[in-house]
């Protein structure tokens, strides 16, 4: 017996199936009353499926964020809306200062099955930058409800904004940058700041170390999706880096709210750490970040130049400028 499958991506097929079920229910003789009851249940289930699917794919803000994060966003968004006339980068710095002291916690997104999670009470480096950007963009639009924050965050974090398993999440910062550029949110300016071309930049770390990721270990289909994503990134050649020796020289060209990527020399990886550029009171070009060493969000005591020079595996920085 061949099953009738309702495909909600193909309305024409779905309508035919529903029409058949409807006709069968209302037009069968009384002798088939038990069959009609059966089709009544099937018809009700089919009609309810789209609503059930939507509910499953779109968690509420309380489900995605939790009570504490929702309350924290309410406080931060109020401050941001009071400063709505400021530019997006300025609003990002305001949000970043409100996040100071937030616990650094690695691996907060590693859930099976994959689903949207937004936390303002614990964070890591990229999630911190992502949250500040999302809150700033929402404030600029006059939005302050948690659902809008979740929607904005999902649009950054997942390829084309769609949650479809672990491989749909953007794992390499270079792809995160490309998607943001395509949407007109920001522009990488590393090359404009006299950055060197990273002709040897390749992406392969995740597929080559799949056993290090619980979502990939023993899951060849998902590894294949990751490998295809890496292949797509390897097709581009316009990757640039400002060498660590030149960072101090170009420091005066950096602006508060610029997204700062510390590039790594580890084979198969691109950016190992992300932060926001911030000029400190003493005039030093510093940065705000979720620091693993400090265990929280801090204004780092080091300048950008000193920080990158102190790390053996950092070969330079990349700069992304957010549209105002």
pLDDT at residue 4 is higher than 60: no
Distance CA 187, CA 75 (A): 29
The mean pLDDT value for 294-318 works out to 96
Q: What is the pLDDT of residue 29?
A: 52
For 116-142, write each residue's pLDDT tens digit: 999 999 999 999 999 999 999 999 999
| This prediction's pTM | 0.81
For 24-38, write each residue's pLDDT tens digit: 445 555 444 455 554
Distance CA 197, CA 182 (A): 21
Instruction: Give the number of other CB atoms < 10 A from CB of residue 160.
Output: 10
For 169-223, write each residue's pLDDT tens digit: 999 999 999 999 999 999 999 999 987 888 789 999 999 999 999 999 999 999 9
pLDDT at residue 47 is higher than 60: no
For 251-290, write each residue's pLDDT tens digit: 999 999 999 999 999 999 999 999 999 999 999 999 999 9
């Amino acid at each position: 017996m061949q099953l009738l499958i309702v495909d909600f991506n193909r309305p024409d097929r779905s309508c035919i199936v529903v029409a058949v079920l409807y006709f069968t229910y209302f037009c069968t003789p009384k002798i088939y009353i038990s069959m009609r009851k059966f089709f009544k249940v099937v018809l009700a289930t089919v009609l309810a499926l789209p609503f059930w699917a939507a509910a499953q794919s779109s968690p509420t803000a309380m489900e995605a964020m939790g009570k504490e994060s929702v309350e924290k966003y309410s406080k931060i968004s109020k401050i941001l809306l009071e400063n709505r006339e400021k530019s997006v980068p300025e609003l990002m710095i305001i949000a970043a200062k409100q996040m100071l002291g937030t616990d650094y916690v690695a691996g907060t997104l590693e859930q099976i099955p994959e689903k949207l999670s937004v936390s303002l009470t614990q964070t890591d480096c990229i999630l911190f930058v992502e949250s500040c950007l999302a809150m700033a963009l929402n404030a600029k639009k006059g939005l302050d409800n948690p659902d809008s924050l979740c929607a904005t965050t999902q649009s950054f974090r997942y390829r084309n904004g769609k949650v479809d398993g672990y491989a749909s999440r953007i794992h390499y910062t270079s792809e995160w940058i490309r998607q943001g550029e395509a949407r007109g949110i920001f522009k990488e300016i590393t090359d404009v700041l006299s950055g060197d071309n990273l002709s040897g930049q390749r992406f392969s770390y995740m597929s080559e170390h799949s056993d290090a990721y619980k979502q990939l270990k023993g899951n060849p289909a998902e590894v294949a999706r990751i490998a295809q994503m890496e292949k797509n990134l390897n097709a581009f050649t316009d990757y640039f880096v400002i060498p660590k020796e030149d960072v101090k020289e170009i420091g005066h060209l950096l602006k508060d709210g610029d997204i700062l990527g510390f590039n790594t020399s580890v084979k198969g990886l691109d950016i190992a750490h992300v932060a926001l550029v911030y000029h400190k009171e003493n005039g030093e070009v510093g940065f705000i970040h979720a620091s693993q060493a400090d265990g929280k969000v801090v204004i780092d005591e080091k300048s950008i130049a000193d920080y990158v020079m102190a790390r053996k595996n950092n070969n330079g920085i990349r700069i992304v400028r957010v549209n105002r």
